[in-house]
Amino acid sequence: MNASTHPSGEATAALAPADLVGLDAARIGVAPGRRTYPPGIAAAALFLAVLLAVAAAPTLFTGYDPLTGNVLEGLKAPNWEHLFGTDRLGRDVFARTVHGARYSLLIGLGGMAISVVAGVFLGILAGLRHRLLDEGIARVFDVLSSFPGVLLAMLVVTFLGQGMVNIAIAVGIAGIPKFGRVVRAQTQLVRDADYVTQAAVYGLGRGQVFVRHVLPNVLVAISVIATVYVGSTILTVSGLSFLGLGPQPPTPEWGVMLAESRDVLRVAWWPAIFPGAAITLTVIAFSTLGGYLQKRFEGRLA
Amino acid sequence: MPSPTLWSRILGRLLTSLVVAWASVTAAFLALHVLPGRIEDILAGDVDTPGLREAIAAEWGLDRSLPEQYWAFVSRIVGGDLGTSYVLRQPVREIVGSQLWPTVQLALTAGVLAVVLAVVVALLTAGRGRLSRTVASALELVLASTPVFWTGILLLMLFSFTLRWFPVSGGNGWQALVLPSIALALPTAGLLAQVLREAIEKTLDQPFVTTVRARGVAELTIRARHVLRHALLPTVTLGGWLIGGLLGGAVITEKVFGRPGLGSVTLGAVLTHDVPVVLAVVLLAAFVHVAASTLLDILYLLIDPRLRAA
C-alpha cells in the first residue's frame, strides 16, 4: 500500500502512517506503560505462534501429502477423514492449507526484509546530512509510492519472470518508501537531538554516534511498522500468486489454491473457503499485533 | 479570494507533482537501460521474428546517444505515444484505450461505494458506546484484511452459483458490475471507515461540537452537518492512496470475475513479457495516482484555511 504523496508526506508518514491496516493514528494518548494484554492481542499472538509452528513443521499437523491425491476421491466435501475435504485432484485441502503457511510467511517476510534493508539504508543516507542527496532519495520514495503496489510488482515480474523469489523482490521494492520515509524522519530527529550533540562533544566519531544512538532509535520504529506492514505484504503476495505470477501449481500456496478453486466453484465450496480464511486470519493477526505495538510505542516513535 | 500564500502553495504542489511524474518517466527509462540484456530483447517480449530487433532499434532510435534517446522517450510519452506492443502487433495506445473503460467503470463504482459505506458506518458508530464501537472496528479490521479475490469468490459462490442473482462472468450490463464493485469496495471501505471513525471521535470532543449541541441541534444533524465536514479533511489525504489501491485491486478483481479490461491486458502482457504494454499501464496508473492526490491536496488547501498560513 502506498502513502499519499502529500507535500510534507515524509514528515507525516513518521508520525502517523495513516494508511496501514489496523491503524490507530488518533489514539496517540494511550498510556505506554500498561502491562495487561487485551484478549484480542493474546489471541493474535497465539494464532501467529501456531502459524509459525505449522510453517516450520507442517508434517506434525497432517499425515497427508499436499501434492498427491487419489483422483477418484476428488471433490469430497469435508468429512472426518478429510477435515477440509479434497480438491479436484483428490488432494487433502487441510494438508495443502497447512503446508501453504510456509509459503505465505516466507514470501511475505522475505519481501518485507528487502523493504526494510533497502528502506533503512536509503532513509539513513537521506536523513544524515547533505541536502541534495536527501532531496534525491525523497523523490525516489515519491516515485516508488506513486505506482500502485500490485502494478509495480507486476512490472517487476515482467522483467524478472514468475516465481517465489521474484514476487518477494517485487513486493519488497514496492515497500521501500514505507520504511525509508520513517527512517529518514527518525534519523533527522535523532541527529538533531541534544544527546547526540553531546555524544559528539565527548568525542565520539560520526560512525560511533550513528551505531550507538541513531540505529537503536530507528530499530524500534522499524520493528513496529514491520509488524503492521507484514499483513498487507502477505495480502499483496497472495494476490500476485492468485494471478499466477508467484509459485506455480501444484505448489500448495494459498493464492494458488484459491485460483484453482475458482474453476470448481460451481460444485465445491470447500477448496475456496479454507485457504482464503487462512490468509484473512493471518493478516488480521499481524494487523492486530502491529496496531497494539504501534499504540504502545507511539510516544517513542515521534 | 485566495491569498498570495495560497496561490504559491498551490503552485508549489503542482510543481512537486510534475517533478514526481517526470521522475517516474525517468525511472522507467533508466529501468530499461539498467536491466541486463539488450533493450531490443527486453522490448520484444516473447516474440522472435527475423528483422524485428532491427525494427525496434530503428523505432526507439537505439543507435543514437543516451541523452537523445531519453529526450525522444520523454517527448513520446508527453505526446501520448506509448510505443508499440510487438507481441500483439498493435500500438500500445490502442490496446490500452480499448480496454480502459471497463476498468475505469469498475474502479469508479467501487470507489464511490467504498466512500459511501465508510461514511455511513463511521457516522453511525463513532462514539456510540463500547459495543457498537467494538463491533464496527472488528468488522472494519476483517474487511481490510480480506483479500479482494477471496471476497470476490465468496460473492460469486453466494450470489451467482447459489442464488443465481448475478451472472458468473463477463462484462455486459450493470448486473455484471455489481459483484465486482462490491468485492473491490469492501477492503477500501474497511480501511477508510477505520480512519474516518477515529477522526469523527476526535472531532466530537471539540468545543464547537458542544456549542452546537447546546443550541439544541439533533445529534445526527450535528454529525452529518458539522462533524463530518470537519472529520473528512484528514481522510482526503488518503484519496491518492485509495485510487492507487483501487487500480491495483481492479486488476485482481477482473481476473476473479472474468471481466474484460486493463487487468486481463496487463496480466497477459506480464506473462508474455510484453514490456511496452506493462510499462504503459504502470505509468498510466502512476499518473492517475499523482494527478488525483495533487487535486485532493489542493482541495484540502482550499477547504481548510488553517493550512494556508505558514
Looking at the predicted structure, is the pLDDT value of residue A245 above 80? yes
Separation between Cα atoms, residue B154 and residue A273, nearest integer Å: 8
- From chain B, the residues in CB contact with A21 under 8 A are 141, 144-145, 191
CA within 13 Å, CB half, A249: 13
**Pairwise CA distance, residues A284 & A3, whole Å:** 20
Convert the pLDDT of each residue in B133-186 to its tens digit.
888 888 999 999 999 999 999 999 888 877 878 777 665 677 788 899 999 999
Contact residues on chain B for A243, CB-CB shorter than 8 A:
251-252, 255, 267
Q: Is the confidence at residue A27, as pLDDT, over 70?
A: no
Q: Does A4 score more than 70 pLDDT?
A: no
B49 or B116, which is more confident: B116
State the CB neighbour count (10 A cutoff) for residue A89: 16
pLDDT in the model for residue A26? 40
Number of domains within chain A = 1
Q: What is the mean pLDDT of chain B?
A: 86
Please report the pLDDT score of residue A23 as a whole number.
41
Tens digits of residue pLDDT in A156-191: 999 888 999 999 999 999 999 989 998 888 888 877
Of A110, A152, A137, A115, nearest to A10 (Cα)? Answer: A137
Query: Of B35, B142, B157, which has the smallest distance from its Cβ to A284's Cβ?
Result: B142
Please answer whether residues A189 and B61 qualify as being in contact, where contact means their C-beta atoms are separated by less than 8 angstroms.
Answer: no
Q: Please check whether residue A212 lies inside any domain of the structure.
A: yes
**B33 vs A102, which has greater pLDDT?**
A102
Q: What dotted CATH number matches B100-271? A: 1.10.3720.10
Q: Is residue A286 part of a domain?
A: yes
B96: its cell numbers: 490500452
> How would you classify residue A147: left for phi > 0, otherwise alpha for psi between -120 and 50, otherwise beta?
beta
Residue with cell 532531496: A135
- In the structure, what pLDDT confidence band is assigned to residue A35 with cuts at 50, 70 and 90? low
Query: Which amino acid belongs to residue A43?
Result: A
| Record: contact B144-A287, CB cut-off 8 A | yes
B266 contact A CB<8A: yes
Mark yes or no for CB contact B19/A139 under 8 Å: yes
Note whether B195 contacts A: Cβ–Cβ < 8 A: yes
Residue A235 grid cell: 495480502
Report the 10 Å Cβ neighbour count for B135. 11
What is the average per-residue pLDDT within A24-37?
A: 50
CB–CB contact B252 A243 (8 Å): yes
Q: Could you tell me the pTM of the whole model?
A: 0.85
CA closest to A159 among chain B residues: B273
The CATH number assigned to the domain holding A214 equals 1.10.3720.10
Q: pLDDT per residue over A188-221, tens digit each? A: 887 777 877 787 788 777 777 777 777 787 888 8
CA–CA separation, B245 vs B251, rounded Å? 10
Q: Is A43 exposed, middle or buried (0-12, 13-18, 19+ CB in 10 A)?
A: middle
Q: What is the pLDDT of residues B195-220, one digit of tens each?
A: 888 888 888 888 888 888 888 888 88
Instruction: Give strand ranges (E) for chain B.
Output: 84-85, 90-91
For the segment B40-55, the average pLDDT, to the nearest whole number, is 83
Highest-pLDDT range among B40-44, B46-50, B84-88, B101-105: B101-105
Q: Note the pLDDT tens digit of each residue in B236-283.
A: 777 777 888 888 899 999 999 988 899 989 999 999 989 999 999 999
The CA distance from B308 to B310, in Å, is: 7
* Neighboring chain A residues of B281 at a CB cutoff of 8 Å: 151
Q: Please work out, in degrees rounded to the nearest 5, the angle formed at the alpha carbon of residue A28 by the alpha carbons of A22 and A30.
A: 95
pLDDT of residue A15: 38
Please give the residue range of the domain that contains residue A268. Answer: 105-297
Q: For residue B53, is pLDDT > 60?
A: yes
Q: How far is A88 from A270, CA to CA, in rounded Å?
A: 11
